[in-house]
Structure 1
Amino acid sequence: MKKDEEMRTALITGAGRREGLGFEIARQLGAEGFHVILSARRLEQVEPLAAELVAQGVKASALKVDLLDHASLAAAAQQVEAQFGTLDVLVNNAAMMVGSPNVADKDMDELLLEFQTNVVGTWSVTQQFLPLIVAGGNGRIVNVSSGSGAFWDPDYGLVNYPGFEMERFGAPISAYALTKTAVNGLTIKMAKELKSDNILVNAVCPGVTATRPGSEEWGARPVADGAKGVVWAATLPDDGPTGLFFRDGKQLPW
């Protein structure tokens, strides 16, 4: 990372919920000494969360980042450049899942929104902040993905699905899972293209985490546990892996 460890910066998208994965990733990276930039579509979502971390002694700030608004992304990148000059870590955490997962009755506008947010949005925010990451000299990009988007994940993968407790509900493969298949492919693409810039790019599945009330009842684990694997990938040494897929620091099959 940077020679001046005190100036390490990390931007986390989708960090607008106190109970969410993004906030916990920010908290853990802040504990590692990063200045964490919590971002969400609305600034009022992240300002109190950033203030909460600051009160805990973490260097933190809030930023408006709307993955579907190119002007918002450009303005956000300009703001980070003006304040910090470079960016060390980008965690692409923002994603959405809406509506029915069934082929027969899936609303196509909802499907388009999911792909625009989860796939195009991930690409767009990376594109806007890439010059700052390159300028940092040895950046890290972590794409928060899902084993449900892999073909051969033994627990959640497309071929093995359903392979966990929710199978009793008869849930079909979701459109969200297919967006994560695309994110996994995008991760490989980014890793290959950015290797010469000393940027490590990996996908991380946080597992099923308890970000919603009642989710613990069907086996969701604490958010802090899911966040650890993301933080691990965000703080890899310079000779660490790139273009791979992990959960809890262990490589997963694509």
Structure 2
Amino acid sequence: MSALRPLVILAGLLALWQAVVWSSGVAPYILPGPASVAEVLAQRWTSLLRHAGVTVAEVVLGLGFGTILGVASATLIASFRPMRRWLLPVLVVSQAIPVFALAPILTLWLGYGIASKVAMATLIIYFPVTSAFFDGLRRTEPGWIDLARTMNGGRLRTLLRLRVPAALPALASGLRVATAVAPIGAVVGEWVGASAGLGYLMLHANARMQVDVMFAALFVLGLFAVGLYFAVDRTLRWAIPWQPEEHA
């Protein structure tokens, strides 16, 4: 039954979509029906896959770089108190300034290629990963740390063998959030300036009033985002088997 649940949900959403189109009588150039979008998917699947491949690469690279930077920053902040005065303001500024406002600047600096979009995705991913992992590191059970000190555990060994494993469930939560928002940075970057990608395709389809193409690109983007989330979630469940879970 669990394997059929996504198909049932998808079928229900498509039926609701079609019901809205029928009941509202809205023009196709404002809200096309599922059949029109499916026709575009069938006719332009090679173009959609080509643009999707670009966006996928941007998101995956951004997720990788954002995770590495976030884990490194959280480890430094938690391990060295003087670093907090330097890195915490950077962490706050990374969220205080809207990433959307930085998109034109990053495009100007890094060009219209993949680099600016990866940078956008990295900036969006950086905060949830850093904050979640830092919170996990500083909330390590004090009794465990006292036991490690009693057993002459060094600072580095305590960090690697005690604090990091204890903080991995918190990091997993941050990674799930980061995975859900990662496509935002790439797509916004493509809207500002790009030569390929689903965001680029949607922007040009909007200029030509090809609303069905926009919906087709959005559908492909949604499928990829959901698939990436569940892939990351399944990987995290496998990598952190000691994380407590509630089974309904």
Higher strand share: 1
RCO greater where, 1 or 2, for CA within 8 Å and sep 6 or more? Answer: 2
Does TM, scored on the shorter chain, surpass 0.5? no
TM (norm. structure 1) is: 0.23
